[in-house]
Amino acid sequence: MVDLDDYFERIGYRGTREPNLALLRSLHRLHPSAIAFESLDPLLGRPVAIDVRSLETKLVRMGRGGYCFEQNGLFLHVLSTLGFAVTPLAARVRWMLPPDALQTPVSHMLLKTVLPEGTFVCDVGFGGQSPTAPLHLEPGLVQETEHGIYRFCDARTGYDLEMRLPDGWAAMYRFTEEPQTARDYEVYNWFTATHPASRFVNNLVAARVVGTDRLTLFNTELTLQRRDGRREHRLLDGPTELHDVLTRDFGIRIAWAEIDNVWRRLPKPPDLGDAGSQPTEGENR
């Protein structure tokens, strides 16, 4: 169980605590606005603990963010403490991959909850594409949220979650309704946090909902995505600006003494270093 008072203070929730769809929608909207998606610890070579006490300490009390196993891990414990019937699930990320791409490993956490109105998928941990509302698990139903339009499609085994982009639908991930255990997540999380090929070991990724817009950071590239689809990009020019962006724009508490270490590890485009720029996306792997 988590301390709900602390969590509600962290995300700015002041309403009732009855476990219903209205509460679920409120929490799902507030969480990605208050608690940024971020990958600082894997980039810095630090272990990522996903037990409930560690999640509560880091994401709620220390003012940090985290990636999917942390974000949805915390959300799982919050919903369970409130009395929701929640099932933890896992997915294979398909974002920005062609339909015929090889099957990817299991590397993402999401949640399923059953309410009188139906079965819903909750996911506050997919970075720059995270839904900001619970999604009704009904294949073919187009669901418009404040920050994106989504649908579930039947896959040969399970479901695909897709997001609508200006040029069509793009798959985010593939999942089944098979429940996952804490030991399952230990394995997935260990790979994500420590493997030399992991995206988060090699890159800084951050994302946050800001009003009706989304703000994302991929290494030195900062992107503001407007609700109407317009994107504004700029490159950060040094550790001072990086510190300002992380603390002011993403709300992440990080000591100034750590920023130089973070900056040195970032791949940079030719005018800032020796590595090329990459697209600014959230949970890509």
Catalytic residue numbers, as ranges: 68, 108, 123
Q: How far apart, in whole angstroms, are the C-alpha atoms of residue 120 and residue 118?
A: 6
DSSP 73-118: HHHHHHHHHHT--EEEEEEEE-TT--TTPPPPPEEEEEEEEEETTE
DSSP 124-188: S-SGGG--SS-EE--TT--EEETTEEEEEEE-SSSEEEEEEETTEEEEEEEE-S----HHHHHHH
Q: What are the distances in angstroms from CA 166 to CA 170, 224, 232?
A: 10, 16, 16
> Virtual CA dihedral for 93, 99, 101, 104, nearest 10 degrees?
20
Beta bridge partners of 109: 90
User: Please, what's the largest Cα pairwise distance for the chain?
Assistant: 55
> Virtual CA dihedral for 55, 8, 222, 73, nearest 10 degrees?
30
From the list 45, 42, 27, the residue with the least C-alpha distance to 86 is 27
Q: How far apart, in whole angstroms, are the C-alpha atoms of residue 73 and residue 37?
A: 13
Torsion-angle region of 45 (φ positive above 0: left; ψ -120 to 50: alpha; else: beta):
left
Beta bridge partners of 163: 150, 170
- The span from the first CA to the last CA of the chain, in angstroms, equals 31
Helices (H) and strands (E) in the chain, counts: 9, 13
